[in-house]
Amino acid sequence: MVSPKQASSGTEVDEKFAALLTNASAVRAIAAAVEGTIGPKGLDTLLVDRFGEVVITNDGMTILTKMDVHHPAAKMVVSTAKAQEEEVGDGTTTATIMAGALLAEGLNQALRGVPVTKLIDGLKAGVKMAQEIIASKSRRITGLDDPLLRQVALVAGRGHEDIADLVISASKMVGMEKLLDPRFKLAETILAVEGADNQVFAGVVIGKERLSREMPKEVKPAKVLVIDDHLEPEKVEEEALATESGFRRYLELQEEFKANLKKVIELGVNFCIVDGGVSDLAEEILTDAGVMVVSRVSSRELRRAAEHTGAKALKRTGLKKPSAELVKYLGSAERVYEDDELEHIRILGGGGKPMATILVGAATREVMGERERICTDAASSVQAAVKGGVVAGGGAAEIACSRALESRKDLFDGMTAYGLLCVIEALKKPLAQIVANAGFNPLEKVGAVVAAQARTGNDNLAVDCDTGEIVDMFERGVVDPALVKIHAIKAAGEIAEAILRINTIIKKKDDEEAGTGSGDDSEEDKI
């Protein structure tokens, strides 16, 4: 609320807080674009490009990344949301909504006369406390058979039973150790295919077909060679080819390459995965030897195939190694075959680390994209739950956190308490938006939940979006990964702090213009 003194000098206030006002408005607009999607009653958003192509989704990350965004502050929100997605794979909508609420409350306090530096101090401390509180309330997952884990998949999968079952099956296939590996992402095992049936299988997929129709369509068992390079002879410069010694060198390299391929074939290799291209010479020799070759494989697929088969990736120069040493680089699989209908290669029963692939089917391309996004959210949430446990969903954990912060206001001196107040109010926003999307009065329901949690001492209470009753979220199976909540609070705090720190907005010159300017400032160079 703006004071009478501020209202009487509106121009002065507007000038003082011009940057904050415009930035907060931009972030609020971004938050408004995604807030209607949160919760079990959240609706979809239709995104249309200039060619008329449409995307229908209620996935916050998809909406943010596909929106036509121009304002610098709004772009900061999108960048932070991408970081959130990269870190834990979910929670971008919650982070964006809370960032909008933090800035709205921060602007309100600044207009009342609270120094922005004090707001930032209180906000940073409050966000750190909130993360610690959420972590302390998390309930650990006891194992991959823990019923809470399926509930996580079901909630993040927006109630799709088939997707929740796929994700849990895949989790059990890869195992707890793999899920805890920071380099492994369960979400990367998902493959959405139009017209396919849902399935999970122990193996990996390469989204390519074999190099030649003359090569075998299936090999079993497979002995696997992975080339992280082009599979072709070493090159000789064109200038050198014009000389006798250069041409002789070219012939030597061709013969050496043939010998290396023969050595690979004698080791029993019948499946070869290549990062780059394959020369005609290599294709001919390997085809004649009955070796299946897949070329121009993406680095992610190549890495997963190598891990699953136990192969070690080689550069083409590595083929010069003696056979006794080269054999240590080979992997194995029970079966490798090309699926004609889905146009990809499947590697099953690898001799390396256990891997799973989640195949999600859909009737149309538009539905396929959304089902893939839903499955990705579910997989990311399941992995986050395994790592950091779960808390009550439906906004219950955030309300409990806001109550805990309220009780710590006495720890804050002076005006930094107003920064803490921003965090307290922002933590109420997820529940408020969830119940608003369900058709209830958010002010009434948030107040009722705060009172019910305080009265009963039960931090798991929130609102049933079907009936409007206050219920225990854990008993209803509405649970969220603690890590998603923690990172959402952190991301929202980082956005708010960064934007609150901006005091002035200046349009900078283009780099080319700045580099060609003279020593004297022209009128165009001046602000």
Alpha-carbon gap, residue 20 to 17, rounded angstroms: 5
What pLDDT is attached to residue 84?
77
What pLDDT is attached to residue 512?
59
Give Cα 447 to chain centroid, integer Å.
Answer: 34
What pLDDT is attached to residue 3?
45
CA nearest to 390, candidates 146, 35, 86 = 146
Percentages (nearest 5) of helix, strand, coil residues in the chain: 55, 15, 30
Q: What are the Cα distances from residue 467, in Å, to 159, 280, 445?
A: 17, 68, 12
What's this model's pTM, rounded to 2 decimal places?
0.80
Q: Which residues pair with 481 in a beta bridge?
A: 390
Q: What are the Cα distances from residue 159, in Å, to 22, 357, 378?
A: 38, 21, 10
Residue type, 348: L
Domains of the chain (ranges, CATH numbers): 12-139+391-500 (1.10.560.10), 147-202+362-388 (3.30.260), 203-355 (3.50.7.10)
Coil vs helix vs strand at 288:
helix
Q: Which residues contact 408 (CB under 8 A, 6 or more apart)?
A: 129, 420
Alpha-carbon gap, residue 342 to 365, rounded angstroms: 14
Q: Which residues pair with 104 in a beta bridge?
A: none
CA nearest to 296, candidates 204, 190, 205, 210 = 210
Contact 10, 120 (CB under 8 A): no
For residue 521, the 8-state DSSP code is P
Q: What are the Cα distances from residue 181, in Å, to 156, 184, 209?
A: 21, 5, 30
* Token reading at 61: 């990350």
Contact 399, 427 (CB under 8 A): yes
User: Which element (helix H / strand E) includes 190?
Assistant: strand 190-194
Q: Which residues contact 375 (CB under 8 A, 6 or more apart)?
A: 157, 163, 166, 167, 190, 192, 358, 360
Contact 275, 296 (CB under 8 A): yes
Coil vs helix vs strand at 112:
coil
Contact 354, 178 (CB under 8 A): yes
Per-residue pLDDT tens digits of the chain, which is 527 residues long:
444 444 444 444 556 677 888 888 888 888 888 888 898 998 888 888 888 888 888 888 888 888 888 888 888 888 888 887 777 778 888 989 999 999 999 989 988 889 999 999 999 999 999 999 999 999 999 999 999 999 999 999 989 999 999 999 999 998 999 899 888 889 988 888 777 788 898 899 998 999 999 999 999 999 999 999 999 988 877 776 667 787 788 888 889 999 999 999 999 999 999 999 999 999 999 999 999 999 999 998 999 999 999 999 999 889 999 999 999 999 999 999 999 888 899 999 999 988 899 988 877 777 788 888 899 999 999 999 999 999 999 999 999 999 999 999 888 888 999 999 999 999 999 999 999 999 999 999 999 999 999 999 999 999 999 999 999 999 999 999 999 999 999 999 999 999 888 877 777 777 655 555 445 554 444 43
Residue type, 13: V
Looking up tokens 């190694």 gives 321
Q: What are the Cα distances from residue 431, in Å, to 6, 137, 207, 327?
A: 33, 18, 41, 58
Alpha-carbon gap, residue 324 to 307, rounded angstroms: 21
Residue type, 301: E
Residue 210 CB: number of other CB atoms within 10 A? 22
Alpha-carbon gap, residue 367 to 38, rounded angstroms: 19
What pLDDT is attached to residue 8?
42
Interstrand relation of 461-463 and 470-472 (parallel, antiparallel or unpaired) = antiparallel
Q: Which residues pair with 192 in a beta bridge?
A: 360
CA nearest to 495, candidates 78, 148, 43 = 78
Contact 109, 96 (CB under 8 A): no
